[in-house]
Each structure stands twice: as C-alpha cells, then as structure tokens.
Structure 1
Amino acid sequence: MCGRYVMAKAIGDLVAEAEAEADENLQLRHSWNIAPTTDVPIVLERVIDGVVHRQVHVARWGLVPGWAKDLSVGVRAFNARSETVAEKPTFRSALKKRRAAVPVEGYYEWKKEGGTKRPFFVHRPAGELIFFAGLYEWWKDADDSWILSTSILTMTSPPEGELGVLGQLATLHDRLPIPMDRAMMADWLNPEAEDVAGMLDRLRGEAYAVAAQWMMHEVDSAVGNVRNDSPTLIEPHNSQLF
C-alpha cells in the first residue's frame, strides 16, 4: 500500500519530468511526510477543443466520488485495490474516464519485526520522480465549490525470494503502489482509452520491472509522526541500503 510519501520538487521540475503544463498560479506544498487528506499534485489529461492537454493539478489525497454525502468517504479511499477497482462504487466511475498519475519522490513503508516496526524509504536512485497509477474525481460541497480528489492504485507485492530490491519490497508489505514507465503512463492517462481492463492487466504485468529500478534504506522512526516534516526524514538511519 502507500500511506505516506515524499513530494518536495518545485513546480517547474515536476512539469518538466511529467511533460505537462500547469497554471502559472499553481502552488505546491513541499512535504517529506505526506499523509492521506493532504493536498497533493496529480497529472491528468483532458481534451480541450479537440486537443489533449496533459496538466498538473492539486487534489485531496483520498478519493471522494460525486455521490458522496461528505468528504469523510475519502479518508478510507487513499488507495484502491487494482484487482477490484472496477467493481467498487467508490472507484469504478473514475476508472473509466478519470485516470491520473500521482508523482512522488519516494514513499515510506514499515517492516514488521516482532513487536516493532522499522520505517524504510523507497525511491529511485537519482531522485527522479516515480509516477503511480491513480484515479481522480470531482465532488461538490455544500457551498457549490468543486473539490478534486485522488487515489493510488495498489497490487500484490513481489513474491518473497526475488532478487534485489524486489525481494526486499516483498518483506515490507503485501501490497505495492503501482508504478508506471513513460509508455504505460501515456496510455493510462489517455481519457479516450476504452480497454480499461486490458490496461489494468498491463499495469500489473509491467509494475515489477519498473520497481526493480528502485532502492530503499531505513529511516528514523520520527517519520511515524506526521507533524514531523523536513528533509532529514529521508536520510539513512543506518548504513544498510537495498
């Protein structure tokens, strides 16, 4: 799963890596400890006057479907299981037409060992962005204001015994946020794509190859408190790297 992550890049860097455009007034909150219900950047594509535009927007992390009575639905919808997303009322409408990419610099996962949990930071070697497959939705509040929200898709983690970082990811959690390469992201974001079931199969089929390029290291337990938010959170806690 993905319940805490890092996104602290400048808007210009995000736009360049995502090959997207953004409103000149768009502001991003830099954070090294993002938790659900926080406002986060997402990448999506829209057809405007017959032309597809890839754009960066800010969304609330925790998807709120249009039929929801209040925002509380999103508290439990920050992740969506890819195996059942097409069947769940919360996600199935967004899956058809409102697919997104959620950019992260890395994410945290906790390894359970007996009665303790050790936090690890998972990231790309040179600090490049990871783009997770996601969904987005619009919801109107009581004041007729529109709120954009998002969710990250997950899948089964690699089997234990895999070589390299995949084997280490298997020991962290039984769920993995689904990463995409450039080609997969282009297909996933396409609002006119119709073979959604096929794309879900491709997402899962290609995810391990993308994740195999990652690395991870243990970090300090301070990351467990969402009020702690600084670059020191991603510094190695010991010398053990994977």
Structure 2
Amino acid sequence: MCGRYVMAKTTADLVAEAEAEADANLELRRSWNVAPTSDVPVVLERFVGGSARAGAGRHTVRQVHTARWGLVPGWAKDASAGARAFNARSETVLEKPTFRDAVAARRCAVPVQGYYEWKTGPGRAKRPFYVSRADGALTFFAGLYEWWRDPAKAPGDPGSWLLSTTILTAAAPDPADTRGAGQPPVLAELGELHDRMPVPLAPESMADWLNPSAPDPAALVRRVVDEAYRAASCWTLAEVGPAVGSVRNDGPQLLAAAGPETVAEPALF
C-alpha cells in the first residue's frame, strides 16, 4: 500500500522530470510527510484544440496539476467519499464502482521521491522504512484521477470542481520466489516489508498509461503491474525514525536514520 510519501522537489524540477507543462493554477507545497487528503501533484494528459466530434486538430498535452489524494467519483454525494480511496487495488480496479470509470479514460501518474512503509517487528511494534530510488530520481506511480462537482456550489463558482487522485497498488514480491530466481535483493526486501506495494510506472509505459484514448484499459493495467517489479528493482530501503508517524511532523529530518525506538503504524486521517 502507500499511505505516506515524500514530494519535496521544486515545481521547475518536477515539470522538467515529468516532461510536462505546469497548469496555470499549479500550487505545490514541498513535504516530507504527505498524507491522504493532502493536495498533491499529478501528471496527466488531456485533449486540447480541434473538434471533439471529428477529432481534427485535436492533440494531447501533458500537464502537472494539483489534486486531492483520495479519489472522489463523480457520482459521490460529498467529497468525504475520497477519504478511504487513496489506494486502488489493481486486482479489482476495473470492477469497483469507485474506480472503474476513471481507469477507462482518466489515468495519471503520481510523482514521489519515495514513500514510507511500516514493517511489523517483535511485540507487534512497527518500524518505518523509507523506500526510494537509489539514484534520487522521481518515481511515477500509476494513478487515476476524477473531477467531482460540489452540488452545494453554483456551477460557475471556481471552487465548484474538485480534482482528486488515487494510487494503484499490487501484491508485493514473494521473498522466497525472488531469492530463488536470483532477482535483485530489494524485491525480497519489499516483500518482507509489506504484502502490498504501489505500482511504479516503467518509463517506456508512462506515455501509454497517460493516453486518455488508449483502447484497452484492462491490458494497460496488466502491463504496468507486470512491469512493476522490474521498475522497483532500482529502489532502496532505509529505516527511518518514528517521527514520521505523525502528520504534524515534516521536514528533511524525517529521513534521518532510525534510532532504537519503534512506533505504531500511524493513523492516516
């Protein structure tokens, strides 16, 4: 799963690494402890120009927008529906009412520098680990997005529309299988850390995942999940201190090496 992550790069660095342009209203807040219901950057592609009917002159443009982490489907009565929809299981995303419309045409990428996961230790204490690319580059998680209109606000109100997002997850690698196959050791470490993991997009698949007119969403989901372990093979794990367990704590000091303390897995809301 993914319930906390780090995104502290500047807007310019993010836009450059995503090979995108910034939405006119883009506002990013650097954070070393991003939690669900926060506003987060997402990378998506949308059609611009030309005729929607004929398709003539239409083309896609890749943009970075700000979205609330926790997907709110268009049919939801209020925005609180997204509070528990910050992750979407790849095995059921095509059938679940909350996600099935978004996976058909509103796929995005959620850029992160790394994410936190809690490993159960002796006495049910949990130790937080930071998972990130060894080279320091961004990871782009496979995500979905939705637009939701607040029925309590006038249609012309600039705040009447909410953009929200969720992160796709898959089963983590089986430690015994990966070791037996001689795969990168980090994959076994991920399997020992948690039974789920967020799905990283392989660079060669990102354009297809973002394409809003891709003809076979089910095949796309299978593809990015099949590539997830290879994309994660460049990750590294580092144990961090217990301060990350509280959303009140933020800053680069959260990535400091862990001391002897342990901490219970945090409440996400």
TM-score, normalization by structure 1 = 0.96
| Alignment partners' CA distance in 2, 1:194 and 1:54 | 19
Give the counterpart of 2:64 among 56, 70, 75: 56
Residue deviations 1:95-139 (CA, integer Å, cap 9, x gap)? 101000000000000000132100000001121100000000001
Give the counterpart of 2:140 among 131, 156, 170: 131
Report the secondary structure of 2:175's partner residue: coil
1:116 aligned partner = 125
Structure 1 window deviating more from structure 2 (11-20 vs 135-144): it is: 135-144
TM-score, normalization by structure 2 = 0.87
Report the secondary structure of 2:75's partner residue: coil
| Alignment partners' CA distance in 1, 2:91 and 2:84 | 17
Is the Cα contact below 8 Å between 2:117 and 2:193 reproduced in 1?
A: yes
| Alignment partners' CA distance in 2, 1:221 and 1:26 | 32
2:106 aligned partner = 98
1:235 aligned partner = 256
Mapping of 1:1-12 within 5 angstroms? 1-12=1-12
Higher-Rg structure is 2
Residue deviations 1:156-201 (CA, integer Å, cap 9, x gap)? 0000132411111001111110001221111100011011111111
Mapping of 1:89-238 within 5 angstroms? 89-114=97-122, 115-141=124-150, 142-143=152-153, 144=155, 145-161=160-176, 162-163=178-179, 164-237=185-258
Q: Quote how far apart the aligned CAs of 1:27 are.
A: 1.7
2:262 aligned partner = none
Runs of 4+ in 1 over 4 A off after TM superposition: none
Query: Structure 1: which 5+ runs fail to align?
Result: none
2:22 aligned partner = 22
Number of equivalent positions: 238
